[in-house]
Amino acid sequence: MTRLATPAFWQQQFHPLALLLWPVGEIYKAVTHARLRHHGPHAGVPAICIGNVNVGGTGKTPIVQYAVQELQKLGRTPHIIMLGYGGQAQETTRVDLALHDAHDVGDEALLHAGIAPTWVGKDRHQSAQAAIAAGADIIVMDDGMQSPSIQPSTRWLVLDAARGIGNGYGIPAGPLREDLSHGLRRVDAIILVGEGDFMPQTDKPVLRVKIETDEVSRQNLKDKLIYPSG
């Protein structure tokens, strides 16, 4: 999955560039916090938001897929909604593997569409309504924690156990979209992915998971350049 690598100084609290950009990062987070005071409407069916407080790969994509597959085992009909990062689709679009490629809808959307109906578009609420009209009885949001367009039924925060939140600064001084403490107040559970010592200070449930690639995936990925994704 194609993603630009995050700057190395995002892991360094006292890097000159991080300190120089720190005021801009504080403004970025303040704007995010202000926007999140507004609550969007409920989707109309249960909605699970699986997101993060920082940019860069945290292991969110496989968590979304695992949640969807578990819901399917329970007899539910989950649809996935997302922005479609890396694709050109702006209007609400149902991903069709026979018609769309990564240029259209982004590579993550193509992965999701292989296991469940997936919708991309800049208006998450509109995507949710389209999914419901198409038969969804539960919505799984890939990202969207910083979007007030939908009020989800529950939020799960995904964090990288090794990298944590980097230097703790806001974009562009660091990787944070919002303060971790702010995000923790809004979520119902935290999922720590991988091996590492990072542990947020919270009374919310914390689940540790380890993601492994199966043999089929290893063969499919052989000789390909893969970048970590959300």
Domain contains 131: yes
Domain at 70, CATH number: 3.40.50
Looking at the structure of the chain, the number of domains it has is 1
Domain contains 2: no
Domain contains 127: yes
Q: How confident is the model at residue 2 (pLDDT cuts 50, 70, 90)?
A: very low
Domain contains 51: yes
Domain contains 5: no
Closest CA to 196 of 164, 167, 161, 157: 161
Range of the domain at 142: 12-221
Edge-to-edge order in the sheet of strand 206-209: 93-94, 118-120, 78-82, 138-142, 47-51, 154-160, 189-193, 206-209
Q: Is residue 40 pLDDT above 80, yes or no? A: yes
Domain contains 227: no
Q: Is residue 192 pLDDT above 90, yes or no? A: yes
Q: In 3-state terms, what secondary structure has residue 17? A: helix
Domain contains 68: yes
Report pLDDT for 211.
79
What is the C-alpha to C-alpha distance for residues 206 and 196, in angstroms, rounded to an integer?
14
Domain contains 226: no
- Average pLDDT over every residue of 14-26: 98
